[in-house]
């Protein structure tokens, strides 16, 4: 069996992939789209992608792919504290004033922006599809005065020096990751936090749309842990909605969804799944 993840090896996503099930062959993917496309084409059995960061918010590429493509099921959620290390090639440790650029994932760059502006002059930012890709590039191009951002251990394994182990703007930096399958519902662990994620589309642009979505849950006292809107990519002003639900009584949620369907609201159910909070060193 195969499991695709956002890679190369050494990314935060690869950490989750390694923890999930060691019986799977791990398949690195150069982008979130590539990772989910492998799953959609059934080239792999599972995919692991980042879905939300506590600083930068939702990973829109992953959310949009899950909405616009065929049926997927979330198998599990992992919440990982993120420490963004600032990494440099040994050639430049004593010449930091000459550092010219940083190569990393856009979300990682935003998370360490305050550190960069306070410690370096204006830098050129080159986006990469993962933090580990940027770290690998820095290690392979010692002649270039660059910084990488990501897992400290990944950088040190490739011969880089860690300038700062915890460079992000807030210590409470966490990322949610989803393990996703196609057409296979999850087996939940009742001892863990249990969530359900649904995606909703209204039949047309209507006044009171948000009320139509929320009221079936509100009067049943169902706890929504997240609600957000995303563009439908049709025309300006058209949106779909993503809801994360804390599952305490599945029957009440089923009734709420039935009420949504009665009002001709399209519901895409990504399933019920267990959520695990990890320590960074697990």
Block means of pLDDT (10 residues each) for the chain, length 282 residues? 90 90 92 95 96 90 94 94 94 95 93 93 92 94 96 94 91 92 78 90 77 92 95 86 95 96 94 87 46
Look at the domain 85-164 and name its fold.
D-Maltodextrin-Binding Protein; domain 2 (3.40.190)
The predicted pLDDT at position 205 comes to 61
Domain boundaries, the chain: 85-164, 193-271
pLDDT of residue 206: 66
CA torsion sign for 104, 108, 113, 116 is negative
For 32, the token pair is 């979130």
> Helix (H) and strand (E) counts for the chain?
9, 15
Q: Burial, 124: exposed, middle or buried (Cβ in 10 Å; 0-12, 13-18, 19+)?
A: exposed
Nearest CA among 181, 168, 167, 191 for reference residue 277: 191
Pairing relationship of beta strands 73-81 and 266-277 according to DSSP bridges: parallel
Token duo for residue 105 = 């994932």
- pLDDT for res 282: 41
Cα separation, 181 vs 240, in Å, equals 22
Please provide the CATH number assigned to the domain covering 193-271: 3.30.70.260
Cα-flanking dihedrals φ and ψ of residue 250, to 5°? -60, -30
Structure tokens at 271: 């399933």
Whole-model pTM? 0.85
Report d(CA 134, CA 50) in Å as an integer: 17
Phi, psi of 89 (to 5 degrees): -70, 145
In this predicted structure, what is the pLDDT of residue 98?
94
Q: Do 150 and 131 meet the contact criterion of CB atoms below 8 Å apart?
A: yes
How far from 1 is each of 77, 178, 238, CA to CA, in Å?
Answer: 20, 18, 39
Q: Determine how many CB atoms are found less than 10 A away from the CB of residue 278.
A: 15
26, 29, 185 from 2: Cα distances, Å: 6, 12, 17
């Amino acid at each position: 069996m195969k499991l695709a993840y956002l890679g190369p090896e050494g990314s935060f996503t690869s950490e989750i992939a390694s923890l999930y099930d060691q019986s799977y062959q791990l398949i690195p993917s150069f982008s979130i789209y590539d990772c989910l496309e492998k799953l959609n084409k059934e080239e792999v059995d599972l995919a692991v992608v980042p879905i939300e960061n506590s600083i930068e918010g939702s990973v829109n590429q992953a959310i949009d792919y899950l909405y616009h493509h065929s049926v997927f099921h979330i198998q599990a959620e992992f919440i990982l504290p993120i420490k963004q290390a600032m990494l440099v090639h040994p050639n430049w440790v004593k010449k930091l004033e000459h550092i010219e650029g940083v190569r990393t994932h856009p979300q990682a760059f935003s998370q360490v922006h305050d550190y960069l502006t306070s410690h370096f002059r204006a830098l050129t930012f080159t986006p990469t599809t993962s933090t580990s890709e940027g770290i690998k590039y820095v290690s392979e191009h010692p002649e270039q005065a660059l910084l990488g951002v990501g897992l400290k251990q990944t950088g040190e394994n490739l011969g880089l020096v860690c300038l700062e182990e915890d460079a992000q703007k807030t210590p409470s930096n966490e990322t949610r990751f989803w393990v996703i399958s196609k057409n296979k519902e999850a087996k939940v662990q009742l001892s863990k936090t249990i969530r359900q994620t649904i995606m909703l589309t209204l039949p047309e642009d209507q006044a009171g749309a948000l009320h139509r979505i929320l009221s079936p849950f509100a009067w049943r006292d169902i706890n929504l842990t997240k609600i957000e809107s995303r563009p439908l990519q049709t025309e300006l002003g058209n949106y779909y909605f993503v809801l994360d639900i804390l599952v305490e009584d599945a029957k009440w949620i089923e009734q709420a969804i039935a009420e949504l369907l009665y009002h001709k609201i399209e519901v895409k159910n990504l399933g019920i799944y267990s959520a695990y909070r990890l320590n960074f060193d697990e």
